[in-house]
Amino acid sequence: MVRQKKEGKLKMKYTEVKMDLFKTEKKYMLGHCIAQDAGMGAGIATQFRKLFGNRLINIVREQKPAVVDVVFYYSKNRKRGVYNIITKKYSTGKPSRASFDRAIEILKDKMIENDHHYLAIPLIGAGLDRLSWDDNKATLMRVFEDTDIEILVCKQ
Choose the catalytic residue: 88, 108, 110, 137: 88
For residue 80, give the nearest of 109, 113, 116, 44 by alpha carbon: 116
Crossing angle of helices 45-52 and 54-63, in 10° steps, is 110
| CB neighbour class for 140 (10 Å; exposed up to 12, middle 13-18, buried from 19) | buried
Identify whether 88 is a catalytic site residue: yes
Choose the catalytic residue: 101, 108, 110, 129: 129
For residue 104, give the nearest of 74, 59, 136 by alpha carbon: 136
Give the separation between CA 127 and CA 130, rounded to whole angstroms. 5
Q: Which residues are part of the catalytic machinery?
A: 88, 129
